[in-house]
């Protein structure tokens, strides 16, 4: 498996993996995700309510995002293991 194949695998996993989530961070606390929505459904609608500081956010500049892919690492690891034999 070359790097390109790995990238294709990751891309297809991201689009079809139900357990992928888009984590939402608010500027009030960048170390704790304030929310999460399923990946692929776009960005949260504004105004967005932050449960951490209990404020209504009406500007994407106050938000940052991260993607979790909980099962993808396991799948890639299993395939790499197979190729070793
Ligand atoms: Zn907040």
pLDDT digits (tens, 9 = 90+) for 26-69: 999 999 999 999 888 888 999 999 999 999 999 999 999 998 87
Distance 30 CA to ligand 1 centre (A): 9
pLDDT at 29: 96
For residue 20, what are the contacts with CB-CB under 8 A and spacing of at least 6? 13, 14, 38, 39, 40, 67, 68, 69, 70, 72
Best CA proximity match to 25, nearest among 48, 41, 1: 48
pLDDT at 9: 56
Q: Count the neighbouring beta carbons within 10 Å of the beta carbon of residue 50.
A: 20
Distance 18 CA to ligand 1 centre (A): 26
Q: Count the neighbouring beta carbons within 10 Å of the beta carbon of residue 49.
A: 13
CA dihedral (43, 45, 51, 52) positive or negative: positive
- The better pLDDT of the pair 26, 19 is held by 26
3-state secondary structure of 22: strand
Distance 15 CA to ligand 1 centre (A): 28
Judged against a pLDDT cut of 90, whether residue 71 lies above it is answered with no
Domain locations along the chain: 19-71
């Amino acid at each position: 498996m070359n790097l390109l194949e790995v990238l294709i695998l990751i891309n297809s996993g991201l689009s079809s993996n139900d357990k992928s989530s888009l984590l939402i961070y608010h500027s009030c606390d960048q170390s704790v995700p304030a929310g999460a929505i399923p990946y692929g459904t776009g960005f949260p609608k504004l105004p967005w309510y932050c449960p951490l500081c209990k404020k209504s956010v009406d500007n994407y500049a106050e938000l940052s995002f991260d993607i979790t892919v909980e099962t993808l690492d396991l799948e890639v690891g299993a395939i790499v293991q197979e190729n070793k034999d």
